[in-house]
Amino acid sequence: MGISKSHIFSHQQNELALAAKVLANPARIAILEYISKQDSCICTDLVDEIGLAQPTISQHLNEIKKIGLLTGTFEGKNLCYCIDQEKWYALQSLFATFFSTITQNCC
Amino acid sequence: MGISKSHIFSHQQNELALAAKVLANPARIAILEYISKQDSCICTDLVDEIGLAQPTISQHLNEIKKIGLLTGTFEGKNLCYCIDQEKWYALQSLFATFFSTITQNCC
DNA sequence: TATTATTATCGTAATATTGCAATATTAAAA
DNA sequence: TTTTAATATTGCAATATTACGATAATAATA
């Protein structure tokens, strides 16, 4: 089917899966890392930096934006893509909680 | 194309993306959570617990196993699926590092 | 206003993912 | 050895993802 049965899972399980889906692509990892490395909001050279076509980068940025991980100005020329700190910390906490709750060892 | 250009990214970026891909499905999140909640290696009732068909569960388990997150016996009847602690901590560290390195705020 | 640089959208192709029914395999139990 | 219970594999359909060329839209600059 290609679509997961999200209705049979909890909100938290779906939320974690959706967040993981955004990270489940090396280009988006690279984009996030590159944006965070910049001193200022220079985001025009992502295409040169990453090595993918401009429409592809634009789509990846959109995926990241959809879960609220990007903030800044989103109109016209010379955009300012930055990582939304609040959302970032929320995701960090979400993953940290998940990893720390699974600690049982039975084998 | 449906395939990401992994060769243009670093090993770490690809590894993180691959790990995230395994977590990018609520069924696999639920499976990991359920396995970790068990006191012993009882893994036979995942189908009833999760609510997906047996072949689907089997495939999800295989995805989790492929990145080395499961350990135990993998033959015949009455399997014993457990989370591999070492790999689990490695992933935990991988995500923690990623989340902590991205802290710059420019907007 | 016309040009230019930057980003977004559309259309399309190739491949991946999700899920299940049918069936096969495996190993213990009868 | 046959049966039975548990898991794996195969085949398939529906949908999602990744990527890019072509083109549109946007806003600053000449």
Report the distance separating Cα A37 and Cα A35, nearest Å: 5
**Spans of chain A, pLDDT less than 50:** none
> What three-state secondary structure class fits A33?
helix
CB contact under 8 A, A51 and B8: yes
Give me the residue from B16, B33, B39 closest to A23, CB to CB.
B16
| CB-nearest partner of A4 from B14, B25, B80 | B25
Among all strands, which nt has the closest C1' to A42 (CA)? Answer: C6
- Contact between A38 and B106 under an 8 Å Cβ cutoff? The reply is yes
Which of B3, B80, B99, B103 should we substitute to test contact with A (largest number of A Cβ atoms within 10 Å)? Answer: B99
By the 8 A CB rule, do B13 and A52 touch? no
Among all chains, which residue has been given the structure tokens 């135990």? Answer: B72
The DSSP secondary-structure symbol of B67 reads T
For A37-49, how does the pLDDT look when each residue is reduced to its tens digit (9 = 90+)?
875 555 578 899 9
Could you read off the pLDDT of B57-104 as tens digits, one per residue? 999 999 999 999 988 776 556 677 889 999 999 999 999 999 998 776
B71 strand-pairing partners:
B82
Task: For B36-65, write each residue's pLDDT tens digit.
Answer: 887 555 556 889 999 999 999 999 999 999
- Chain B residues whose CB is inside 8 A of the A67 CB are none
The pTM for the full model equals 0.91
pLDDT at B71: 85
